[in-house]
Amino acid sequence: MSVYVDYASTTPFDKEIMEKVMAGADVFGNPSSIHRVGKDAKAKLQAHRTRIAESINAKPKEIIITSGATEANNLAIKGTAGRHEKPHMITTDIEHASVRTTYQDLSEQYDVTFLKASENGLIDVDDLKKSLQSNTVLVSIMLVNNETGSIQPVYEIAKVLKDHQALFHIDAVQAFGHMEVNVHALGADMLTLSGHKIYGPKGIGMLYLREGTKLSAQITGGSHELSRRAGTENTMWVEALALAMEKADSKRAARSLKEMQLKERFLNELTAEEIPFEVNGDVNRQASHIVNLHFPWSEAEFLLTALDMTGVYVSAGSACNAGTVQPSHVIQAMYGDEERALKSIRFSFSHLMEEEDILEIVSQLKAIYERLYGN
């Protein structure tokens, strides 16, 4: 028996969606072509765009299709920074690498403030207030942290930014499908999403850009996506994204309830089996599908290998090209403790899992723990 419990890394492509998309493959035209074949493709593309927009309460023209969330985050940040003379920007020290690394690179040239998360995994809104300057042009904060699942106080942040010129960019990749993502309610000027985290394909994502917001294209070569992102549109994958978003949104309540139950069962079983652990961050302020556990008795690298050998697939921190585990920068930022980061693992659940999967993970963890410390 094997158990995949790493759904925050990626999800399987929903077969129903895949089949539907494949069935439409005959419409192959280039949406920019002005002949009938192109127009058919354009019509489909725009219909999908409308469905995508509706899933987050936006308008179709506010959706920029990208190759994924990494590109969308790069576009949001660089496309804003580049429009200003001496901009100041604010982000956090627990963002996904596509945001964090982009800001780190920009900080050599521009003024960037990195807000610190505390041990509960959350950003303090007062810190944001204090960091705002007259030249602050952009604030990038994720809705759900990809490593701990912590839900950032974006609604409060939006209130603070309401009377400020700074644009609010929300990375909602780990939130969509697990909680409501409504761009107006969230007060977002920009918002990023990815296809493969919500049972869609890899290689597709989007940036919501509030109507009237200026942004410089980072990939040039045509007037696609309202001149914000050049390149012939990936119509089939846009459809897949639209279908994945619709499905994830319509089944959100049932799916997240199941995730929550699985997570709770998991934590209860660990406690019952007397396997020592601590939850990283505040378990009551985290998304339904993610929990990050600190196991003081083992390095994550060892546990990941030992678990993989028994068919339990899970992850920790980020992997280097040589296959070793880099300690999570998020846990380090929260606790200021590299040791804790080295001994922490993320479990991320899905409605596709069953209770027996949870029992299998716990029994394998228990076997490893006993091998190391048992009699």
Partner 1 sequence: MDPSKTTVVVGMSGGVDSSVTAQLLKEQGYNVIGIFMKNWDDTDEFGVCTATEDYEDVRLVAEQIGIPYYSVNFEREYYDRVFKYFLEEYEKGRTPNPDVMCNKEIKFKAFLDHAMKLGADYVATGHYARVEHDGDSVTMLRGVDNNKDQTYFLNQLSKDQLSKVMFPLGHMEKSEVRALAHEYDLATKDKKDSTGICFIGERDFKEFLSGYLPANPGRMINLDTGEDMGSHDGLMYYTIGQRQGLGIGGEGGPYFVAGKNLKENELYVVSQYENESLYSTRLTASDVNFINDVGDTFDCTAKFRYRQKDVPVTVHKNDDGTIEVVFDGPARAVTPGQAVVLYDGDVCLGGATIDTVYNEEKVLEYLG
Active-site residue, 312 included: no
Nearest distance in Å: CB 345, partner 1: 15
**In degrees, to the nearest 5, what angle opens at C-alpha 309 toward C-alphas 304 and 313?**
50
Stretch binding partner 1 (CB under 8 A), from 59-67, 107-115, 274-282, 323-331: 323-331
CA distance 273 to 276: 9
Binding of residue 226 to partner 1 (CB under 8 A) = no
Minimum distance, C-beta of residue 332 to partner 1, in the bound complex (Å) = 15
Q: Which residue has the tokens 């990809």?
A: 146
Task: Report how many residues bind partner 1 under the rule CB under 8 A.
Answer: 14
Figure out which of the listed residues 225, 301, 357, 360 binds partner 1, where binding follows CB under 8 A. Answer: 301
C-alpha 264/C-alpha 246 separation (Å) is 27
Answer yes or no whether residue 36 interacts with partner 1 by CB under 8 A: no
- C-alpha distances in Å from residue 311, one per residue of 304, 314, 352: 10, 10, 17
Closer of 224 and 340 to partner 1 (Cβ): 340
Kindly state the tokens that stand for 303.
């546990």
CB of 301 to partner 1, least distance (A): 6
Among residues 305, 336, 354, 370, which is the contact residue for partner 1, using CB under 8 A? Answer: 305
Of 8, 2, 70, 72, whose CA–CA distance to 317 is shortest?
8
Closer to partner 1 by Cβ: residue 291 or 303: 303
Three-state SS for 159?
Answer: helix
Closest distance of CB 320 from partner 1, Å? 6
Q: Does 108 bind partner 1 (CB under 8 A)?
A: no
Give the residue with the Cβ less far from partner 1, 34 or 322.
Answer: 322
Is 323 among the residues that bind partner 1 (CB under 8 A)? yes
What is the torsional sign of CA 275, 280, 284, 289? negative
Work out whether 309 is an interface residue with partner 1 (CB under 8 A).
Answer: yes
Query: Which of 31-39, 219-227, 232-240, 316-324 is the region at the interface with partner 1 (rule: CB under 8 A)?
Result: 316-324
Q: Which of 34, 253, 272, 320 is catalytic?
A: 320
Secondary structure (DSSP) of 35-87: SHHHHHHHHHHHHHHHHHHHHTT--GGGEEEESSHHHHHHHHHHHHHTT-SS-
- Residues numbered 147 to 176 that lie near partner 1 (CB under 8 A) are none
308 binds partner 1 per the rule CB under 8 A: yes
Whole-number minimum distance, CB 5 to partner 1, in Å? 18
Residue 325 binding partner 1, by CB under 8 A: yes
93 in Cβ contact with 115 (< 8 Å): yes
C-beta of 174 vs 344, nearer to partner 1: 344
**CA–CA separation, 305 and 314 (whole Å):** 10
- Shortest Cβ distance from residue 372 to partner 1 (Å)? 6
Q: Rule CB under 8 A: is residue 214 a binding residue for partner 1?
A: no
Binder of partner 1 out of 109, 134, 284, 321 (CB under 8 A): 321
Is 322 a binding residue for partner 1 by CB under 8 A? The answer is yes
Q: Which helix (H) or strand (E) holds 304?
A: helix 300-309
372 binds partner 1 (CB under 8 A): yes
Q: Which tokens in the block code for residue 112?
A: 């960037």
- CA 32 vs. chain centroid, Å, equals 31
Distance CA 117, CA 254 (A): 31
| Mode of pairing for the β-strands spanning 136-142 and 167-171 | parallel
The alpha carbon torsion through 325, 329, 332, 333 (nearest 10 deg) reads: 180
**Does 371 sit near partner 1 (CB under 8 A)?**
yes
Rule CB under 8 A: is residue 318 a binding residue for partner 1?
Answer: no
Apex 307 CA angle, 305 and 308, nearest 5: 65
> Distance between CA 260 and CA 350 in Å, rounded?
9
For partner 1, the closer CB: 212 or 323: 323
Catalytic positions: 320
Which residues here bind partner 1, judged by CB under 8 A? 301-302, 305-306, 308-309, 320-325, 371-372
